[in-house]
């Protein structure tokens, strides 16, 4: 009995150390040290482990409970990105709202090149999906491969406007005033942007699909059939770690490009897409700066967006800037892909100017040199300045 107790104590200490390393993931560039990002990926399971030990030792009135309790409290700021109890809001002013849908559709089961019978089934499934949701004003699609799939989406939701680069697409009911793509070399992943002229003003929408891990079949094999004493299992684990190490470094560089481009935007932002990284990560911290996470605002429950065998994985996001209020966030349970679609309702809270003579600026604090900005500016707020 004493031996078992000592084993559990050491297991608890190792768990606490692993969790503390996970907390460092947002602060360490994975291009330099990828191990922290891997620990951040495991944050939900590490959290559950600490909760277990806190309860286990607590019931025995053992002071070892303090280790896990302290560890949980130290990372409390990350908890909201994993679990939330938000409540949707309704609005009668629909002209001020933008309904956004982001979905890694994974080619819709190969719709564009499927045989007629399968194509008809896939098309009917997608049409059924469209009838069960609020029609989105903006639909950001990742892995939307093939002209026939593009036509299916345009026809189903009656979109007049769309912009595509590689397999990343923005569909819109609003006119596209300007558009562009960020260059990601030697990959099918991409990031595109479009300036949409809405009734309340121009908004720049980014649709981002960062470097994929490409671990699906191997990771599923380990999760469902892996045995701890099997050499093949350990070979698969080494393969997964090598792939993951390469992918997280590429994602960090891609995310830096996107963040730099966002910082130069003259318009309010809605960032959508599949980031392939969870909230406890360097990529998430980099891209969410000065933006809201719709799940953290109005999401409810665990918010998982990955439909594979890895549980509690949230890698698909909608991140609006502060000119918007998040009214609703919902992860839809549709299984047309290995991701779940995310639908968000946003409401303008500031009326932006249409003129190019105005820009939106976030002034974090008063500059050291006086006279650079008007005296009446409220620091820590987003404001419009005439240029």
Q: Which regions of the chain does DSSP assign to beta strands (E)?
A: 84-85, 97-104, 138-142, 161-165, 168-172, 176-182, 190-198, 201-209, 269-274, 300-301, 316-320, 324-331, 342-348, 358-363, 381-386
| CATH 3.30.365.10 is right for the domain spanning 84-348 | no
Residues 6+ apart with CB under 8 A from 356: 266
Extents of the domains making up the chain? 2-79, 84-348
Side-chain-side CA neighbours of 113 within 13 Å: the count stands at: 5
> What pTM, to 2 d.p., does this model score?
0.86
Contact call for residues 353 and 384 (beta carbons, < 8 A): yes
Question: Can you tell me the distance from the alpha carbon of 371 to that of 23, in angstroms, rounded to the nearest whole number?
Answer: 41
What string of pLDDT tens digits covers the 387 residues of the chain?
Answer: 788 888 999 999 999 999 999 999 999 999 999 989 999 999 999 999 999 999 999 999 999 899 999 999 999 999 999 999 988 888 766 778 999 999 999 999 998 888 889 999 999 999 999 999 999 999 999 999 999 999 999 999 999 999 999 999 999 999 999 999 998 988 889 999 999 999 999 999 999 999 988 665 555 555 555 555 666 666 777 777 888 888 999 999 999 999 999 999 999 999 999 999 999 999 999 999 999 999 999 999 999 999 887 789 999 999 999 999 999 999 999 989 999 999 999 999 876 554 444 555 555 566 665 555 555 555 455 555 555
């Amino acid at each position: 009995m004493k031996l078992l107790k000592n084993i559990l104590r050491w297991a608890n200490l190792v768990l606490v150390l692993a969790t503390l390393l996970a907390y460092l993931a947002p602060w360490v560039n994975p291009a330099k040290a990828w191990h922290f990002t891997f620990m951040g990926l495991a944050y939900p399971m590490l959290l559950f482990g600490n909760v277990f030990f806190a309860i286990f030792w607590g019931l025995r009135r053992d002071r070892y409970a303090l280790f896990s309790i302290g560890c949980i409290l130290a990372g409390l700021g990350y908890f909201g990105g994993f679990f939330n109890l938000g409540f949707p809001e309704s609005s009668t002013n629909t002209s001020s709202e933008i309904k956004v849908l982001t979905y890694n559709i994974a080619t819709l089961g190969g719709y564009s090149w499927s045989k007629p019978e399968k194509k008809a089934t896939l098309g009917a499934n997608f049409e059924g999906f469209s009838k069960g949701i609020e029609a989105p004003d903006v639909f950001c699609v990742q892995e939307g491969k093939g002209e026939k799939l593009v036509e299916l989406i345009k026809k189903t939701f009656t979109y007049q406007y769309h912009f595509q680069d590689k397999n990343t697409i923005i569909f819109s009911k609003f006119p596209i005033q300007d558009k562009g793509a960020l260059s990601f070399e030697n990959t099918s992943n991409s990031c595109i942007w479009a300036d949409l002229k809405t009734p309340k003003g121009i908004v720049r929408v980014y649709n981002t699909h960062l470097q994929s891990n490409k671990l699906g079949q191997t990771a599923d094999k380990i999760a469902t059939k892996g045995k701890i004493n099997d050499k093949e299992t350990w070979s698969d684990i080494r393969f997964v770690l090598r792939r993951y190490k390469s992918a997280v470094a590429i994602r960090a560089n891609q995310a830096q490009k996107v963040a730099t481009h966002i910082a130069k935007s003259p318009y309010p932002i809605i960032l959508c897409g599949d980031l392939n990284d969870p909230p406890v990560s360097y990529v998430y911290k980099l891209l969410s700066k000065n933006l809201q996470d719709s799940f953290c605002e109005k999401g409810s429950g665990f918010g998982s967006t990955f439909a594979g065998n890895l549980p509690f994985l949230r890698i698909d996001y909608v991140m609006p800037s502060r000119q918007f209020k998040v009214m609703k966030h919902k992860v839809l349970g549709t299984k047309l892909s290995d991701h779940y679609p995310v639908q968000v309702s946003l409401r303008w809270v500031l009326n932006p100017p249409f003129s190019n003579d105005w820009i939106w600026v976030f002034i974090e604090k008063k500059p050291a040199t006086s006279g650079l900005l008007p005296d009446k500016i409220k620091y820590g707020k987003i404001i419009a300045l005439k240029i």
